[in-house]
Amino acid sequence: MILLLALLCCLPHAAAESGAPSALYNPDMPPPIAEEHAPADDGYFTDAVFIGDSMMEYVELYELIPTANYVWKIGMSPGSVSHRDFRVRGSEQRLSGFEYAASFQPKKLYVWLGANGLDTSPSDAVLANYEILAGKLIEWFPDALIYVISPPPTTYSRMTELDKVPVKRYISFESKLRALAAKWNFYYIDMYHLVANENGYLPNNYSLGDGYHLNETALTLMTDYIRTHTVPYPASAEKEAEEP
């Protein structure tokens, strides 16, 4: 495990040296794994945007990170963020997920997508859409620290009886998403292993009742983890932003 983390920490520098597109990151805390520290307070998230599907809806509903901005849509997937589904209040104007998130001028971006897709498609198909999404995130938000959150598993009954997918699909996607984060210099939050039981399924006591959505207990576990794994915005980027 220590060797794996060491290798992952080296990957961002290799990507940067090759000239591949790269997200903004703090060189003092290289991605993809942020070090654990004392919990960040709400002030850290005032310039953060959380992008996601209906799972993210409940993070906002429970006010677990009340100072953040939220861009979520039921059923949203890595391939549908560009759809113009977001209506501006007091207007008939409709924005894509990218446009709506950009309107908040975020310095931190948290992306929690992929659950809509893994229930119907192989992990490689979902990852292919995530690769396209990654490039667009860097294009739209070159001045933001970008965090990606892995999808949680579903319960045993939901996965085997309703969706009829193997648990190895979720395990495989988690591993590949971790590698994607390293490739693009995203920070990575492993929500899958944070809530999965020893067999790789979501425990029933973390389910909202449908075997898919997480209850407040599980979401609090996630947001507590997020608070203890934040990355300071790089001082060099702050200085560049201030210069005329």
How confident is the model over 97-145, as pLDDT tens digits? 999 999 999 999 999 999 999 999 999 999 999 999 999 999 999 999 9
User: What mean pLDDT comes out for the span 7-21?
Assistant: 48
User: What mean pLDDT comes out for the span 152-160?
Assistant: 97
pTM summary value: 0.90
Q: Does domain 2-235 have CATH number 3.30.1490.20?
A: no
The residue ranges of every structural domain in the chain are 2-235
How confident is the model at residue 240, as a pLDDT?
60
How confident is the model at residue 6, as a pLDDT?
38
| CB proximity list for 48: less than 8 A, separation 6 or greater | 65, 68, 69, 106, 107, 108, 109, 110
Question: Between these two residues, 54 and 89, which has the higher pLDDT value?
Answer: 54
pLDDT band for position 93 (cuts 50, 70, 90): confident
How confident is the model at residue 236, as a pLDDT?
78
- Helix, strand, or coil (residue 72): strand
User: What mean pLDDT comes out for the span 222-230?
Assistant: 98
pLDDT band for position 29 (cuts 50, 70, 90): very high
List residues bridging with 50 in a β-sheet.
Answer: 70, 110
| CB proximity list for 17: less than 8 A, separation 6 or greater | none
- Helix, strand, or coil (residue 231): coil
| Residue 4 confidence (pLDDT) above 60 | no
- Tokens representing 104 are 């908040």
User: What mean pLDDT comes out for the span 35-40?
Assistant: 97
pLDDT tens, position by position, 191-222: 999 999 999 999 999 999 999 999 999 999 99
| Residue 35 confidence (pLDDT) above 70 | yes
